[in-house]
Amino acid sequence: DGGITQSPKYLFRKEGQNVTLSCEQNLNHDAMYWYRQDPGQGLRLIYYSQIVNDFQKGDIAEGYSVSREKKESFPLTVTSAQKNPTAFYLCASTPRGQGYGYTFGSGTRLTVV
Amino acid sequence: KNQVEQSPQSLIILEGKNCTLQCNYTVSPFSNLRWYKQDTGRGPVSLTIMTFSENTKSNGRYTATLDADTKQSSLHITASQLSDSASYICVVSQGSSASKIIFGSGTRLSIRP
């Protein structure tokens, strides 16, 4: 079955550490996105990529980095510069632009310990 | 400012009852509106998509309406089931540009037996 796989489901980070969240899709979608979800708030866009080797900052990119070396993969690194990283992170993909509707992964919950 | 506002923030109803969730938006130019269902700890799953010319769309016990003149949408759930307990998120696309997706903060629905 086609879909998006995020791993790990739960991740714990110590202060000052960088951590990387994995996102892999086998839907042959061109565009991929990373969102952050906090309780009581709408999803906020961190980064997006419409094509391999190209990506753009979203609304809250500070403290995060991404790469898009393969069409199928769009990993997100949460760096030590991100002061409040505890959140639920969602990866999504679309065939083309965002207007075509998302397929979401099942999410990664990141907690700072 | 482009915004999507949902009401109520949370709702508790008894199993078997109907309910209606509201979404008001100020996004312009409007492209489409989607309703997503998000189970706790999971990624959102699309329920319906509506374009400017569509007034009503159904997906099983879920019926979405759209009034493009007043910029309002509703999601009606008929004969609720325990599995309907989830957050319901209204998402509006602005034109077809990438990163122009605005998420509502969701309505948390709890179904009690």
B98: confidence class by pLDDT, cuts 50, 70, 90: very low
A68, A55 contact by CB (below 8 A): yes
Q: How far is residue B45's CA from residue B47's CA, in Å, rounded to a whole number?
A: 6
User: Stretch B77-93: mean pLDDT, rounded?
Assistant: 96
Query: Does residue A1 carry a pLDDT above 70?
Result: no
Q: What percent of chain B has a predicted confidence (pLDDT) above 90?
A: 76
Query: Does residue B57 carry a pLDDT above 60?
Result: yes
The residue with greater pLDDT, B31 or A73, is: A73
First to last CA, chain A: 36
A101, A88 contact by CB (below 8 A): no
Write the CB contacts of B70 (distance below 8 Å, at least 6 apart in sequence): none
Of A43, A56, A101, the CB nearest to B34: A101
| pLDDT at residue B33, as a whole number | 92
A24-79 per-position pLDDT tens digit? 999 999 999 999 999 878 899 999 999 999 999 999 999 999 999 999 999 999 99
Closest residue in chain A to residue B90, using alpha carbons only? A42
Strand partners, B74: B22, B65
Q: Which residues of A touch B (CB under 8 A)?
A: 4, 6, 31, 40-45, 48, 50, 56, 58, 88, 90, 92, 97-99, 101-102, 104-107, 109
A80-105 per-position pLDDT tens digit? 888 899 999 999 998 875 556 789 99
In the predicted model, what is the mean pLDDT of chain B? 92
Count Cα neighbours of B85 within 13 Å in the Cβ-side half-sphere. Answer: 12
The residue with greater pLDDT, A10 or B95, is: A10
Percentages (nearest 5) of helix, strand, coil residues in chain B: 5, 60, 40
Beta-strand relationship, B30-38 and A44-51: unpaired
